């Protein structure tokens, strides 16, 4: 086993939540946390110049991952801030042109909550486009939702629960020529999909370093500078950092680590995706073969290579996870207090709340090994059988609309 806990072997299959930082990332960050501590906006001495150079080098590396210009990358504190800056920044900058936003029913919370905030505080109208039973959103349905006054379309590259990917280029093409902007949350896709916002007709794209082998607390927003030049109203005030779009001192160490992680992904993505897909398929096939009444959720053709979302009849997700504490995975529904909330993603897919309460997301990473997958298979099979034998009572479910 790659990892050990005080209780023995431990397999981490929750890489969609966060990934371990690559050792090369940690080593590159180390000097910027101690002796090279300068402020990148300090222009009057060597430490400041060094820090600025490091940030700009990191910016170029992140830009290379997206095939864009370095000056189109704005560093943030993570994907959540990047999403907020994109959605609210566009609303504030283009609100005089129109007050309608289109998104999907399966977007990640930062986008959905930002859109709700626009409805509640800025008198915007928001259309949430439905998805198919596999979680895919069609370009035709997005186009049908557009109207006079639509200024922004938000669609994720890949879903946070099922790994289902969306037809970004097709959706952007359906929006072309309509005087609106397209924002893509690529937080969960950054380490696995080829991202090219210019090729695909995307104007804004959010990334998070900790989803691709980088540090937590570092993110970025791609903001197109020409054809068209995108304007954003800053959401943080207190300085002119990041070309006036994001106040606050740039985390130099975080930016450096992000840059190294981005370069590693760019150089190894195809090979890593092929390897992890084989491991994911091995896990999925073995569990489906050996566990009666097991199901896969999401689109099995259009999905990230490292994700499978499984449910098991008669087995609550929390019971399964508690029963195999030597395997880390994620319940398909978020927890609040003592309740498990039904997944709004599963609800949008037309699945019952009890199915959502039984779903478990297994997400693999670059460091996942075949040995770990085989260990996880045995633990899943044994734990499902044990929970079913015990007849564990269902966990109460509370409803919450997105």
| Bridge partners, 50 (sequence order) | none
Kind and range of the H or E run holding 155? strand 150-156
Measuring CA to CA, which residue among 380, 364, 377 is closest to residue 163? 364
What distances in angstroms separate CA 324 from CA 41, 268, 341, 390, one per listed residue?
49, 32, 21, 15
Measuring CA to CA, which residue among 23, 85, 36 is closest to residue 219? 85
Contacts of 390 (CB under 8 A, 6+ apart): none
Residue 315: helix, strand or coil by DSSP? strand
Q: How far apart are CA 14 and CA 327, in angstroms?
A: 9
Are 211 and 250 in contact, with CB atoms under 8 Å apart?
A: no
Residue 53: helix, strand or coil by DSSP? helix
Q: How far apart are CA 366 and CA 263, in angstroms?
A: 14
Measuring CA to CA, which residue among 65, 57, 70, 66 is closest to residue 265? 65
Place of tokens 């929006």: 175
Contacts of 349 (CB under 8 A, 6+ apart): 106, 131, 132, 133, 134, 135, 162, 297
Q: Give yes or no: 335 in active site.
A: yes
Exactly one of 131, 154, 175, 335 is catalytic; which is it? 335
What distances in angstroms separate CA 376 from CA 18, 55, 241, 291, 383, one per listed residue?
19, 40, 46, 13, 10
Query: Which residues form the catalytic set?
Result: 335
């Amino acid at each position: 086993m790659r990892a050990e806990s005080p209780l023995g072997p431990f397999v981490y299959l929750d890489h969609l939540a966060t990934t371990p930082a690559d050792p090369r990332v940690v080593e590159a960050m180390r000097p910027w946390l101690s002796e090279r501590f300068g402020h990148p906006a300090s222009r009057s001495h060597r430490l400041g110049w060094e820090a600025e150079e490091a940030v700009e080098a990191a910016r170029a590396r992140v830009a290379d991952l997206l095939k864009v210009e370095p000056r189109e990358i704005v560093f943030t504190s993570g994907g959540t801030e990047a999403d907020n800056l994109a959605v609210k920044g566009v609303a504030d900058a283009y609100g005089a042109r129109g007050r309608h936003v289109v998104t999907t029913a399966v977007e990640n919370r930062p986008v959905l909550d930002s859109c709700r905030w626009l409805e509640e505080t800025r008198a915007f109208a928001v259309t949430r486009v439905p998805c198919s039973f596999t979680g895919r959103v069609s370009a035709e349905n997005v186009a049908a939702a557009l109207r006079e006054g639509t200024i922004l379309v938000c669609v994720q590259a890949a879903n946070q629960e099922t790994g289902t990917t969306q037809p970004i280029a097709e959706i952007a093409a359906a929006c072309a020529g309509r005087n609106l902007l397209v924002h893509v949350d690529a937080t969960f896709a950054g380490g696995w999909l080829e991202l090219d916002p210019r090729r695909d007709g995307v104007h804004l794209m959010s990334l998070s370093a900790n989803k691709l082998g980088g540090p937590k607390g570092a993110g970025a927003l791609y903001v197109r500078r020409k054809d068209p030049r995108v304007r954003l109203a800053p959401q943080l005030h207190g300085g002119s950092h990041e070309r006036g779009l994001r106040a606050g001192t740039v985390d130099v160490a975080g930016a450096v680590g992000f840059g190294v992680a981005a370069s590693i992904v760019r150089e190894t993505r195809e090979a890593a995706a092929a390897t992890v897909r084989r491991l994911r398929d091995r896990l999925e096939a073995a569990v489906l073969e050996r566990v009666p009444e097991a199901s896969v959720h999401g689109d099995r053709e259009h999905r990230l290579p490292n994700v499978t979302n499984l449910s098991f009849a008669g087995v609550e997700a929390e019971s399964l996870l508690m029963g195999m504490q030597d395997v880390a995975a994620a319940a398909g529904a978020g927890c609040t207090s003592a309740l498990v909330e039904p997944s709004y993603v599963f609800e949008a897919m037309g699945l019952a709340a009890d199915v959502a309460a039984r779903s478990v997301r297994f997400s693999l990473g670059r460091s996942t090994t075949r040995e770990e997958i085989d260990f996880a298979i045995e633990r899943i099979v044994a734990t499902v059988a044990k929970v079913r034998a015990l007849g564990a009572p269902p966990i109460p479910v509370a409803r919450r609309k997105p």
